[in-house]
Structure 1
Amino acid sequence: MDFTTVSLVALRVFREVADRGTLTAAATALGYTQSAVSRQVAALERAAGTVLLQRRHDGVRLTEAGRVVLRRAGVVLDEIDATARELAGLPVSSGAVRLGWYTSAGAVLVPRALAALRRDHPGIAVTTREGSTPALVRAVRAGSVDLALLASAPPFRPFDAESPPLVVRTIAERGLCLAVPAAHPLARGDYVDVADLRGQRWVSSPPTAGEKPLGVWPGLDERPEIGHTARDWLAKLHLVAAGCGLTTVPASLAPVVPPGVRLLPVRGGSPEQRRVVLARLPGPLPEPVARLADALHAAALGSPAPG
């Protein structure tokens, strides 16, 4: 085992692979060829004297040794980046926090929390990234984000089986709603019966590896007719307003629902509750991260963040 010859490039590539989940995705993010990424990982494994990544059909998975190298690599790279900023005469902020968030959180929850944090704690600099749940969980494991805002659906299983388990904090729990065109027959009442959802046309997100498409009411006993697919929640809601179909949305999106759309609860069938959770690696929580977590919690509850 000899790490004296390990380059910073190899460490950065390794962290990117752990974050993205595949060699191909890491190569795309870094602007490298896949063979170049493979060579850097192989060089790091030779230095470690052991396998760091398990290659599988659905991507890569860190071995126990890989998790150790990733943890140490993160510390080294963060220190190198801070040194470069200091030498360049740029401020080295001790209040920097990196946040990952699930798609619909960017419509209301994240902006509300960041506005409150900027008002009460202007010295904390937050950078954010949107992503799917599997991608954000990998980013937490890779140390690319300090905190991940995730949506969880029943039966509320752990987000992954890696060790150590992530520290998870529930900050809100709400029901799933149905977005209906205002002129649709289902919009006439104060709720929709689940039996009336048979044969409806849906606006849904495209399927993503490791996640179910969002937009179709869960548990329908038929193959749904999906007329339109869109990743962006606002686009889906505007398609609903145009009469193109129905979609599901978390109740938290009520403040940004466009004209021409009614949000209604659905009765019958299994309750469709959704949890909003914060996930992070175990260990002491730095104050800036704790401040952001409190701001997100307060925003989810619709109350001011504590000072």
Structure 2
Amino acid sequence: MDVSLVGLRVFREAAEHGTLTAAATALGCTQSAVSRQIAALERATGTALLERRRDGVRLTPAGHVVLRCAVAALDQVDAARRELSGLPAQAGAVRLGWCTSAGASLVPAALAALRRTHPGITVTTREGGTPALVRALRADALDLVLLGSAPPFGPPDTGSPPLEVRTLAERGLRLAVPAAHPLAGADSVDVADLRGHRWVAGASSGEDGLVGVWPGLDERPEIAHTARDWLAKLHLVAAGGGLTAVPAWLTGAVPPGVRVLAVRGGPRERRRVVLARLPGPPPEPVARLVDALHAAAQQR
């Protein structure tokens, strides 16, 4: 089977990103160039590797086999390149993906603790939405993904094999209000008091819907500002732009000018932060990072 390293890298990007357009953007080339490389790889293997669908591409059973071999081959090439350059092989490297709501406060704390206890482990991270991170995990472009989860707390995807998912923490949802807001004078508010206010919300990323509006409000909410970034949302709250709902593990990251309150009444709103990975025994560096993330989650 005559295949090129370029073709393997293009195939890995397509599997990770889920569309040929997104893979082309990541690689800095055209979609037609990506299509040609994948077509050449399919001719070389004698089988279809990707299922073309209206919403993107998905790996065929043969595609999963080729992807596993491609990742191993590319990793070996990268290791050889580092060795020839006189660089360490980085046997202790871990690749972590995280959703902003789950990782904004947990990831920095866990990495700081890991540097103290296991300074030889190198961790690289990326932020993204749940669907993109899960695709990257299944494409073996990430070792672990840290995700936020809302009821009914289903699995991150329906792919095969099922991902191994570990709940790090489950906490109640909280309300962030400007410090000068009339609701800010108490430690908690009733859910009925949330009617008629302006909200700072995040556009849906496939993670939790419209993130920021208190779930189950019996009115059409007035959205004053939209932002996906949690820090931006909280600073908009501090500036008096509106209210926003936040997972409890983010309360330690709120800026000055914001008060965080509990909400009484209505359904009990809970959120989880979970770790997902492919099944099988984790390598030692991955296991140590899991321990650090679990410890960080318990402290929040």
Do these two structures clear the TM 0.5 threshold for a shared fold by scoring above it?
Answer: yes
Report what 2:36 is aligned to: 39
The alignment status of 1:273 with 2:293, answered yes or no, reads no
Aligned to 1:203: 200
Cα-to-partner distance string for 1:177-197 (whole Å, 9 max, x where unaligned): 110112222222221222222
Distance 1:283 1:111 in 2: 26
User: One-letter code of the match for 2:201?
Assistant: S
SS at match of 1:9: helix
Equivalent residue in structure 2 for 1:72, among 51, 69, 91: 69
Distance in 1 of aligned mates of 2:65 and 2:265: 48
For 1:122, what is the secondary structure of its paired residue? coil
Instruction: Quote the offset at 1:73 in angstroms.
Output: 1.1
Query: What RMSD, in angstroms, separates the aligned Cα atoms of the two structures?
Result: 1.5
Give a deviation string over 1:69-97, Cα, whole Å, max 9, x none.
11121111111111111111111011000
**1:188 has 2:185 as partner:** yes
Correspondence 1:155 to 2:162:
no
State whether residues 130 and 205 of structure 2, in contact with CA within 8 Å, keep that contact through their aligned partners in structure 1.
no
Q: In the alignment, is the contact (CA less than 8 A) between 2:99 and 2:128 conserved in 1? A: yes
Q: Secondary structure in 1 aligned to 2:170?
A: strand
Q: Deviation of residue 256 (structure 1)?
A: 1.8
1:226-237 aligned within 5 A: 226-237=223-234
The change in CA–CA distance for 1:60 and 1:222 in structure 2 (over 3 A counts) is farther
In the TM superposition, residue 262 of structure 1 has moved relative to its aligned partner by: 0.9
Matched letter for residue 152 of structure 2: P
Q: Does 1:289 align with 2:286?
A: yes
AA aligned opposite 2:215: P
Cα distance in 1 for partners of 2:219, 2:71 equals: 47
Matched with 1:243 is 240
Q: How does 1:86-97 map to 2 (within 5 A)?
A: 86-97=83-94
Q: Choose which of 233, 253, 256 in structure 2 pairs with 1:256.
A: 253
In structure 2, stretches of 5+ residues that fail to align are: none
How many corresponding residue pairs?
300
Q: Does structure 1 residue 172 correspond to structure 2 residue 169?
A: yes
2:296 partner SS: helix
Give the AA of the match of 1:101.
W
Letter paired with 1:195:
A
Specify whether residues 17 and 191 from structure 1 end up closer, same or farther in structure 2 by C-alpha distance, changes over 3 A only: same
**TM-score, normalising length: structure 2:** 0.96
Q: Deviations over 1:184-226 (max 9, x none)?
A: 2222222122222222211111233575131111222333211
Letter in 2 for 1:263: V
CA distance in 1, matches of 2:287, 2:208: 29
Stretch of structure 1 that moved more, 269-278 or 159-168? 269-278
Could you tell me which residue of structure 1 aligns to residue 125 of structure 2? 128
- CA drift of 1:30 comes to 0.4
Matches within 5 A, 1:55-66: 55-66=52-63
What amino acid is the match of 1:34?
Q
- Does the C-alpha gap of structure 1 residues 106 and 167 become closer, same or farther in structure 2, counting only changes over 3 Å? closer
Distance in 2 between the 1:95 and 1:208 partners? 32
List per-residue Cα deviations over 1:102-121 (Å, max 9, x = no partner).
11344321111001100110
CA distance in 2, matches of 1:44, 1:38: 10
Amino acid at match of 2:151: P
1:131 CA displacement? 0.7
Unaligned ranges ≥5, structure 1: none
